[in-house]
Amino acid sequence: MTSLGSAFAQTRCWAHAHPLAPDGTLAFAVLVCMMFGSFADPHSGPGGPTFGTHVPSVLSVFLMVVGAGSLVFRRRRPMAVLLGAGALTVVELITGDPPAPVVFTAVIALYTVGAHTDRPTTWRVGLATMTVLTAVAMGFSSGAWYVQENLAIFAWSGMASAAGDAVRSRRAFVDAIRERAERAERTREEEARRRVAEERLRIARDLHDVVAHHIALVNVQAGVASHVMDKRPDQAKEALAHVREASRSALNELRATVGLLRQSGDPEAPTEPAPGLAHIDGLLDTFRNAGLPVEFAAAEGTGPLPAAVDLAVYRIIQEALTNVRKHAGAGAHAEVSVVRVGGTVEVTVLDDGKGTGEPADGSGHGLLGMRERVTALGGALSAGPRYGGGFRTQAILPVKSGAGVGRQAPVRTAAPRTAPATQTAGGLAATDSATETATAPATDIVTAQDTAPTGETV
């Protein structure tokens, strides 16, 4: 069924790109039908029309061929094709006895006009076409004016106009819905970007005001204290008191500013140092106690890392193991390695899980959070299924101070664990299909305060 639908979609796209081909096919089919119908005599048999007793004239054949040929250009010049088909139909109605079904070309041309013009034009042209063709058919009919062949011309002309108008209305309705959805999506994205930019600017402005004012005051008072320390210790003591007061005020204002970034249910910021590799054993023990076997390896000579990198390494390991615990399934094992390579540190988390088999709800932010951390430090993040089963998360972070800060880092995210209907090996990335929430660089200030070992979830 999928292959049939794909073939139909490809054929439809090709037909839209080459409109003369489907119109030529339609013209040939109409010509065959008209030729077939021209051998029927509606008045020769007592029980109704008979086939084979009537042979169309050369003029009728010529009119049918020309009328069918004009339909090839029906979408390029709908009004001109309708005028030509209508004129050919009038000639056949006057000269043919019984007339050949050249009127089919006028009916199709009238439908095309209705499908490609506006409603007032459709009804004006349709009414005129119905009136002229029906009047000519009734006036030059060899039988009674009210025979069914004449009334059929009126009915088919009216239905062609109505069908063309209905198709045009539906096409316009679908296009309007599609355009409205695309416009809403663009507006939503632009609004999100605008709000993120405004929030970042506001936070940067607040931080600049707080830091610039209080640090300048601390610098001045510290200089005064250093200058008068030996000769006037009481004045130096007073200057140091001002330094302490300014620093306390700066900390309070920074806490208030950064606190705006927290969710309403987030815990209060702790006062202990931010976690790092020194606390990794406690983190791994929490996962082992929860039933996830974890092996850890750190190359010799890794040495101390910068505070921001140390925190990012800890958080990446925490997020990746949380994903393994939630999505890898029963019996999964995890391996964590931290290796110093030149001016970078590589963090790799592997698992051999087969997945839980449960569909993801798409509400997670684990990979998004890791990407934000790695990008802020100028590193690279890759995550995706492993060959043979399981999942692999790797982050490469620059260790040198200031390396890559403020630069957009490359992020490679492989195919997620879950397919649209079934879950494949592992169980991690599917839940990270949630809508991306852009955060300011100051977000890492907030998350750096959070020291709960398993507080962050996907």
Residue 50 pairs in a beta bridge with 41
Cα three-residue angle 112-113-118, rounded to 5 degrees: 130
> Is pLDDT at 80 greater than 80 in this prediction?
yes
> Is pLDDT at 238 greater than 80 in this prediction?
yes
Split at pLDDT 50, 70, 90, the class of 418 is very low
Is pLDDT larger for residue 372 or for residue 165? 165
Residue 345 pairs in a beta bridge with 340, 397
How far apart are the C-alpha atoms of 447 and 261, rounded to whole Å? 10
Residue 53, both tokens: 């007793």
Query: In percent, how much of the chain has pLDDT > 70?
Result: 71
Residue 269, both tokens: 């910021």
Split at pLDDT 50, 70, 90, the class of 424 is very low
Give the mean pLDDT of 13-40: 80
In 169-316, at which residue ranges do the beta strands (DSSP E only) sit? Answer: 294-298
Give the mean pLDDT of 195-218: 70
Residue pair 444/265 in contact (Cβ under 8 Å)? The answer is no
Is pLDDT larger for residue 358 or for residue 362? 358
> Is pLDDT at 423 greater than 50 in this prediction?
no
Question: Quick check: pTM over 0.85?
Answer: no
How far apart are the C-alpha atoms of 400 and 341, rounded to whole Å? 12
How is residue 335 annotated by DSSP?
A: E
Give the mean pLDDT of 100-119: 90
- The tally of CA atoms less than 13 A away on the side-chain side of residue 302 is 18
How high does pLDDT run on average in the chain?
A: 76
C-alpha distance from residue 186 to each of 182, 189, 195, 224, 261 (Å): 6, 5, 14, 56, 26
> Is pLDDT at 53 greater than 80 in this prediction?
no
C-alpha distance from residue 413 to each of 33, 138, 185, 264, 334 (Å): 57, 73, 23, 31, 20
> Is pLDDT at 386 greater than 80 in this prediction?
yes
> What is the pLDDT at residue 393?
93
What sections of 229-262 are H helices per DSSP? 233-259
Kindly report, residue by residue over 285-324, the tens digit of the pLDDT.
888 877 789 999 887 766 788 888 888 898 899 888 888 8
Is pLDDT larger for residue 272 or for residue 132? 132
> Is pLDDT at 76 greater than 80 in this prediction?
yes
> Is pLDDT at 46 greater than 90 in this prediction?
no
Split at pLDDT 50, 70, 90, the class of 271 is low
Put residue 314 in one of left, alpha, beta given phi > 0 → left and psi -120 to 50 → alpha: alpha
Residue pair 26/81 in contact (Cβ under 8 Å)? The answer is no
Sign of CA dihedral 421, 427, 429, 434: positive
Establish whether the linkage from the previous residue to 120 is cis, with ω within 30° of 0. Answer: no
